[in-house]
Amino acid sequence: MFLAWERLCTLSCRPKFLKTVWASKILGLSTSAGEDSNPGWGTKIPPATQHGKKMSLRFKNAKRIEGLDSNIWIEFTKLAADPSVVNLGQGLPDISPPVYVKEELSKIAAIDNLNQYTRGFGHPSLVKALSCLYEKFYHNKINPNEEILVTVGAYGSLFNAIQGLIDEGDEVIVIVPFFDCYESMVRMAGATPVFVPLRCKPVDGKKCSSSDWTLDPQELASKFNSKTKAIILNTPHNPLGKVYTKEELQVIADLCIKYDTLCISDEVYEWLVYTGNKHFKIATFPGMWERTITIGSAGKTFSVTGWKLGWSIGPKHLIKHLQTVQQNTVYTCATPLQEALAQAFWIDIKRMDDPECYFNSLPKELEVKRDRMVHLLESVGLKSIVPDGGYFIIADVSMLDVDLLDMKDSNEPYDYKFVKWMIKNKKLSAIPVSAFCNAETKSQFEKFVRFCFIKKDSTLDAAEEIIKAWSRQNS
Amino acid sequence: MAKRLQARRLDGIDHNPWVEFVQLASEEADVVNLGQGFPDFSPPEFAVEAFQHAVSGDFMLNQYTKAFGYPPLTKILASFFGKLLGQEIDPLKNVLVTVGAYGALFTAFQALVDEGDEVIIIEPFFDCYEPMTLMAGGRPVFVSLKPSPTQKGEPDSSSNWQLDPTELASKFTSRTKAFILNTPNNPLGKVFSKEELELVASLCQQHDVVCISDEVYQWMVFDGFQHISIASLPGMWERTLTIGSAGKTFSVTGWKVGWVLGPDSLMKHLRTVHQNSVYHCATQGQAAVAQSFEREQLHFGRPSSYFVQLPQYIQRCRDHMIQSLQSMGFRPVTPQGSYFLITDISDFKNKMPDLPGAADEPYDRRFVKWMIKNKGLVAIPMSIFFSLPHQKFFDHYIRFCFVKDESTLRAMDQKLQKWKAELTP
């Protein structure tokens, strides 16, 4: 066994060690990163470059990423990284994953052969577990090898689906607000995002809820045409927390069938649905299985966002194209994490009706936190939209009428300025909802900020203190 | 659906030879798998411990880390490789952590290769370079390593396979965007010499081309040969992306942690691709790799370094395999580095030219399938590492992976001995 290598360390064998090539011996000088290096240093330079330096012009990025370089998360997570800031921004639990999930990974870390490559399209025990779980919801059996693909997070599934199925010149319908990568991934594929907003129709006297935000069926229908390749659906919805009803999904399904369009259904928050609501899978509607890719996430299912495992489920004739993308991008996902995820699934698959099952216990736990957030925001006069699902809540902050004097020169939407101000002055972070909008609709949403509530009680306590102090200051 | 489903970028890249051979290997009972490149021995204890520590320590390691790399990992990669490359490396600007070196390659191609750009690929090549070029809309331009004739009886070596400098220079045009270098090379095991790298460097500078240097086997070098990173040559840091792999470095291919090192002017484009494709890499694997590098940094240059011990062990595996293959009538090409060796099967081709397979299927693929089914040995046909028009010139080689446990090599010997016995009536 190669474990013998460690014993070799104690032998006084002289290694035929390759001299480390310390580059300074070759170079004489070290170059600095960047375009400014001067070729005339007097070291061994091949004659060709002495004819003059042609630099950087051809190091331009490929066209596909033109304009996609800025990213809201990079910006805001940097700001919120200050440990004194109470972070209700990025969708990241600060609660511990369930004990048995951590235990499974720990056990697996000790198993040798799980440190090497596994099957590219998904570790066998994991695709089997996924097939077993999801067969309970679909009307058909799910072939683990042909109808499931394991990806680098749900983010990776979105990428594989869009790269695999969306072409230059295609149109893709994106519902506003949207998880921000939908737009950039569609653009990277050379396609055109076509936006349709959710609109609020509040019922008088009732607390504003995510179900008040709906698509206008005629407006939605007007967005479909012969170039529409796909619609991206997100239910439960980020950031609103909307859980699409059966009727709403039927409207979308009817249009998909009429226009022969694909549906990419991002259902990462599928288990996080609160009392009085039910999550429906559009792929189970008549005529939809053959045209839908349904995406799920280990990170959101088991509160392990750092495992970066997700999956796509769909018919073979679609999944095979996502598999082609996989074999030309990452090829395979990490083995030990996939095995641990499989084991965690088996534990909960066996007790789906049990309140102890994480798919049941997490939403119960989060509903309490949701209600706490609603109450807290209400108590300081902030109007929030009660989410029916997911782990975010958005609130209208315009009535706080905060003086953003020191940010007035910025061209950014109000909510961007507000959040930056709030991070700096109140040590509380959130995410501006206009980040989830295209340029044209930003103004419709710029009074809203998004709070994440999958946080431990002490974090929510700290947020409460800040908000209460803030409100006392104002009154 | 009536519409054409798949995007055009998938044209010509849907077929993957690995899928077929990996499946065959898993279907047949009692085979010795010397095909796919992964170790079948344990990773070093310190790496296993590092992973255990990462998964049982701070529970927040179960959550997202920084998009471009877990900070302790980018920090150690910057300091470790900064010394090796003689370069000031900033962990934020010059390092990107990716999903394996495979993910690094994809990110580089997508960031820099545009429709119509030419990409020079040296044959034989790790097979993904071609489809990745095509998926980015690029045009692969091939230039072959060719063996010089050996003295009769002299075994062939990977150092004997060379590029013709004139031919190489002729491949560069005004449309050449990138040059893919792989040293040590898969499948040949060639370790490019300083002179060879200087030639490539001079052409890249002359034509203002980006060099993508796949150095995953950088520690797997034998017989006193030296691995040289082209990024350390004059004028090259600013135009080179250097790709590495935790999987190959620490014998943990299943962790899927890789990285790219390069100047900010190039890296910023890779970051854009990264944030629009996977966005984050798994945290715990990165934490374990960071800890493993920290351990290695303390032992670097000493007998206790894994980067000393591993190639020593692997060299013995290589030599064992070469001897065993030679005694069977195979003619292995001694590799200077990497996980692999290729072996000439011309004698078998002459003796049994008609093996079952499709009409235009290259001989080496038919041979490998026959060998898997009938002799219980898995190898990989060399023609998959060549461009289509050139496959027929190299269909008399197959590739073996020797980074295997002693018990696997003994099992290989048994299969070979049985085979030999069957040959002599």
Q: Does B138 contact A at CB distance below 8 Å?
A: no
What pLDDT score does A73 carry? 84
Q: For A233, what's the count of Cα atoms within 13 Å in the CB-facing half-sphere?
A: 35
Find residues 275-304 of chain B whose CB sits inside 8 Å of chain A.
275-285, 300-301, 303-304
Q: Rounded to an integer, what distance in angstroms lies between the CA atom of residue B269 and that of residue B281?
A: 17
Tell whether the model's pLDDT for residue A84 goes beyond 50. yes
Inter-chain residue contact B6 with A165, CB threshold 8 Å: yes
- Classify residue B365 as left (phi > 0), alpha (psi -120 to 50) or beta: alpha
Least confident piece of the model among A209-223, A450-464, B275-289, B342-356:
B342-356
What pLDDT score does B2 carry? 67
Of A34, A77, A181, the CB nearest to B238: A34
Q: Does A260 contact B at CB distance below 8 Å?
A: yes
**Nearest to A213, CA basis, from A253, A247, A182, A244:** A244
Q: Rounded to an integer, what distance in angstroms lies between the CA atom of residue B258 and that of residue B275?
A: 16
Check residue A99 and report its DSSP letter.
H
Grade residue A405 by pLDDT with cuts at 50, 70 and 90. Answer: low
Grade residue A39 by pLDDT with cuts at 50, 70 and 90. Answer: very low
User: A439 or B218: whose pLDDT is higher?
Assistant: B218
Tell whether the model's pLDDT for residue A412 goes beyond 70. yes
Inter-chain residue contact B256 with A332, CB threshold 8 Å: yes
Q: What percent of chain B has pLDDT over 90?
A: 89
Please provide the average confidence, as pLDDT, over all residues in chain B: 95
Chain-centroid distance of CA A238 in Å reads: 9
CA distance A211 to chain B (A): 30
Residues A148-192: tens digit of each pLDDT: 999 999 999 999 999 999 999 999 999 999 999 999 999 999 999
Interface test with B, best of A54, A116, A188 (most B CBs within 10 A): A116
Q: Does B335 contact A at CB distance below 8 Å?
A: no
Tell whether the model's pLDDT for residue A16 goes beyond 70. no
Q: Rounded to an integer, what distance in angstroms lies between the CA atom of residue A177 and that of residue A166?
A: 21
Tell whether the model's pLDDT for residue A52 goes beyond 60. no
User: A7 or B405: whose pLDDT is higher?
Assistant: B405
**Nearest to B179, CA basis, from B122, B253, B136, B111:** B122
Looking at residues A4-21, what average pLDDT do you find? 37
Check residue A96 and report its DSSP letter.
P
| Residues in chain A closer than 8 A to B238 (CB atoms) | 31, 33-35, 37, 55
Find residues 159-198 of chain B whose CB sits inside 8 Å of chain A.
177, 198
Give the other-Cβ count within 10 Å of A373's Cβ: 26
Residues B113-147: tens digit of each pLDDT: 999 999 999 999 999 999 999 999 999 999 999 99
Tell whether the model's pLDDT for residue A473 goes beyond 90. no
**Nearest to A292, CA basis, from A140, A91, A136:** A140
What pLDDT score does A407 carry? 65
| Residues in chain B closer than 8 A to A259 (CB atoms) | none
What pLDDT score does A475 carry? 64
Q: What percent of chain A has pLDDT over 70?
A: 86
Interface test with B, best of A7, A8, A14, A18 (most B CBs within 10 A): A18
The pairing of beta strand A148-151 with beta strand B210-214: unpaired
What pLDDT score does B224 carry? 95
Contact B123, B385 (CB under 8 A): yes
Tell whether the model's pLDDT for residue A32 goes beyond 60. no
Q: Does A105 contact B at CB distance below 8 Å?
A: yes
Residues B309-326: tens digit of each pLDDT: 999 999 999 999 999 999
pTM: 0.92
Tell whether the model's pLDDT for residue A28 goes beyond 50. no
Structure tokens at A7: 């014993």
Find residues 427-446 of chain A whose CB sits inside 8 Å of chain B.
none
**Nearest to B382, CA basis, from B364, B367, B369:** B364
**Cβ–Cβ pairs < 8 A, chains A and B:** 353
**Adjacent-strand bridge partners of A231:** A173, A263
**Nearest to B38, CA basis, from B327, B200, B300, B256:** B256
Find residues 352-381 of chain B whose CB sits inside 8 Å of chain A.
none
Q: By CA distance, what is A44's nearest residue in B?
A: B234
C-alpha triplet A301, A303, A309: angle, nearest 5°: 65
Contact A91, A391 (CB under 8 A): yes
Q: What is the CA radius of gyration of chain B?
A: 21
| Residues in chain B closer than 8 A to A26 (CB atoms) | 86, 232-234
Q: Does B106 contact A at CB distance below 8 Å?
A: yes
Tell whether the model's pLDDT for residue B277 goes beyond 60. yes
Q: Rounded to an integer, what distance in angstroms lies between the CA atom of residue B340 and that of residue B355?
A: 25
Strand segments, DSSP code E, in A105-247 are 148-151, 171-176, 192-197, 199-200, 213-214, 228-234
CA distance B164 to chain A (A): 18
Residues B255-266: tens digit of each pLDDT: 999 999 999 999
Greatest pairwise CA separation for chain B in angstroms: 66
- Classify residue A436 as left (phi > 0), alpha (psi -120 to 50) or beta: alpha
Contact B380, B21 (CB under 8 A): yes
Tell whether the model's pLDDT for residue A31 goes beyond 50. no
Cis peptide preceding A239, ω within 30 of 0:
yes
**Nearest to A129, CA basis, from A334, A342, A333:** A342
Who's near A98: CB < 8 A, 6+ residues apart?
A302, A303, A344, A358
What pLDDT score does A409 carry? 65
B363: amino acid identity, one letter: Y
Please provide the average confidence, as pLDDT, over all residues in chain A: 87
Who's near B245: CB < 8 A, 6+ residues apart?
B100, B101, B216, B257, B258
Tell whether the model's pLDDT for residue B292 goes beyond 90. yes
Looking at residues A249-268, what average pLDDT do you find? 98
What pLDDT score does A83 carry? 87
Check residue A381 and report its DSSP letter.
T
What pLDDT score does B301 carry? 94
Inter-chain residue contact A333 with B201, CB threshold 8 Å: no
Of B103, B282, B312, the CB nearest to A307: B282
Assign 3-state DSSP to chain B and report helix, strand, coil percentages, each to 5. 45, 15, 40
